[in-house]
Structure 1
Amino acid sequence: MSIAGLVTALLVGVASGLFGRLVIPGRREAPIWLTVSVGVVAALAGTILARLAGVDTGTLTLLTLVIQVGLAGSGVVLVVATAKPQPSDAP
């Protein structure tokens, strides 16, 4: 993985984490650091998946970007949709 692919995956992951948090309606039980970190990890996994599929990840291509955004968006939606409310510490 090149530096450009890594930086792109990081930017896509952070953007997907923040944007996904805004798009999902209702209460947001998952903390923001969790949605951003899931977005980054999923975007990096998208880069690896694209590389395994034979896509050139050394430069920014539309196919790599679509795979990164797709995985990052799916991961963030899953995390936000399945997050459970945290119990309050107050009696």
Structure 2
Amino acid sequence: MGISGIISAIVIGAIIGLLGRLLVPGRQHIGVLATIGVGIVAAFVGALIAHALHVDHTKGVDWIQWLIQIALAALGIAALERFKARH
């Protein structure tokens, strides 16, 4: 992965993380870097799941893949928030 791929992963991860964060009700006490990290992981895992389900290459925007990634980001943010609340 080149520098452009790393920058793209960070940007896409930030977008997915922020969208996932919007889905979690209430205030989250996690930082921006944690949100981006969760978004990057959700983007990669969501892409793998979409590929396994054969919904990763569609005509136009891959809405199903985006929905999977955003849902995973929301779950990741909620899990991280719950983990931080316990410690």
Q: Which range, TM-score by smaller chain?
A: 0.5 to 0.7
Contact 1:42 1:72 in 2 (8 A): yes
- For structure 2, the residue ranges without an aligned partner over 5 or more in a row are 1-7
**Higher helix fraction (1 or 2):** 2
Number of residue equivalences: 78
Larger radius of gyration: 1
Aligned position for 2:74 = 73
TM-score computed with the length of structure 1 as normaliser: 0.61
User: Considering only aligned residues, what root-mean-square deviation do their CA atoms show, in Å?
Assistant: 3.2
- For structure 1, the residue ranges without an aligned partner over 5 or more in a row are 1-6, 87-91
Aligned position for 2:46 = 46
Alignment map for 1:20-39 (pairs within 5 Å): 20=21, 24-26=25-27, 28=29, 30-39=30-39
Aligned sequence identity (%): 26
Aligned position for 2:4 = none
Tell me the SS of whatever aligns to 1:83: helix
- Tell me, in whole angstroms, the C-alpha distance in 2 between the residues paired with 1:81 and 1:67: 21
